[in-house]
Copies of this chain bind each other. A is one copy, B any other.
Amino acid sequence: MEHAEEALFRPVRAGNAFEETVERLMQAIRLGVVAPGERLPSERELATRLGVSRVTVREAIRSLQENNYVESRRGRYGGTFVNDVIPKSAPGKELGDIHDALTLRKVLETGAAEAAAGRSLGSAERRGLRVRLEEASTATLAEYRRKDSRLHLAIAEATGSASLTAAVAESRMRVNELLDTIPLLEPNLAHSNAQHEHIIASILDGDPAAARQAMAEHLDGTASLLRGFLV
């Protein structure tokens, strides 16, 4: 019953500033918001936007460098660039987390699809969705996870709710970590692309029920797969 208390009296800070900052940068990289070869915002800009000191940003970046996620170059037009090869993590997840993560993901992403379909989207937003769809459909197996995340984030953005977008990003990060623990996952790209097209078409058509339905089917694939592998 009173596990509402557990939710409300959970730790106020997920970790220290350094760990939180690393986590954010990792999200940006793993979700493909900053693609391999691209540059992260400058240290000073990151410090401002993340609300931490530049010292902390630098420590976080150093940690990423040591794990070969990024490289930094000095001088004007320098910066910190995302590497092509991204090492894998193998944390070993709690099994109880799976239901939690998948439940939250389904709620957020089907809700986002429905909400996006229920809005009157501007031409820029419509174009953005089509571009992301195209990117995902032409992705190689290696790129798939990242391009997929970018498409799903674009859908969340199309709701116009920043906090919903943030929640989707965090949720995807959690699920991706779970997926990373399954080494031999080869998604059926053709099938997934067809589902993506269906989702985006429903959103662009302004059909919320269809968008929700399509997203639910899309998510169920990885969900049952994860449940099967990890339970």
Residues of A whose CB lies within 8 Å of any CB of B are 1-13, 17, 20-21, 24, 27-28, 31, 33, 41, 46, 49-52, 99-101, 103-104, 106-108, 110-112, 114-115, 124, 128, 150, 153-154, 156-157, 159-167, 169
A162 engages B7 (CB within 8 Å):
yes
Given contacts A46-B9, A111-B108, contact A103 B51 (CB under 8 A): no
Cα distance, A104 to B8, chains bound together (Å): 18
Cβ A28 vs Cβ B5 within 8 A: yes
Q: What are 14 A-B interface contacts by the 8 Å CB criterion?
A: A1-B128, A1-B154, A1-B157, A4-B31, A4-B157, A7-B153, A7-B162, A7-B165, A9-B49, A10-B49, A11-B50, A13-B13, A13-B17, A106-B115
Instruction: Decide if B52 touches A12 in the complex (CB within 8 Å).
Output: yes
Bound-complex Cα distance A22 to B60 (A): 28
The answer to whether A163 and B12 have CB atoms under 8 Å apart is: no
User: Contact: B110 with A50, CB < 8 Å?
Assistant: no
Given known contacts A100-B164, A111-B111, is B17 in contact with A169 (CB within 8 Å)? no
Set of chain B residues within 8 Å of A115, measured between Cβ atoms: 103, 106-107
Are B6's CB and A162's CB within 8 A?
A: yes
Which 8 A-B residue pairs are closest in the complex by CB-CB distance? Answer: A107-B111, A11-B51, A103-B161, A12-B20, A7-B166, A9-B49, A7-B165, A4-B153
Taking CB as reference atom, which chain B residue is nearest A5?
B33
How far does the alpha carbon of A169 sit from the alpha carbon of B114 in the complex, in Å?
22
Q: Residue of B at shortest CB range from A45?
A: B9
How far in angstroms is the closest Cβ of chain B from A211? Answer: 12
* 18 other A-B residue contacts (CB within 8 Å) besides A1-B128, A9-B46, A104-B167: A1-B154, A4-B153, A4-B157, A5-B28, A7-B169, A9-B49, A9-B50, A10-B51, A10-B162, A10-B166, A11-B49, A11-B51, A12-B17, A13-B20, A99-B161, A100-B160, A103-B159, A111-B111
* Nearest CB of B to A65, in Å: 19
Q: Which residue of the partner chain, among B41, B51, B99, B169, contacts A13 with CB atoms under 8 Å?
A: B51
- The residues of B that contact A169 with a CB separation of less than 8 Å are 4, 7-8
A33 and B17: CB pair below 8 A?
no
Taken together as a complex, chains A and B put the C-alpha atoms of A128 and B10 apart, in Å, by 22
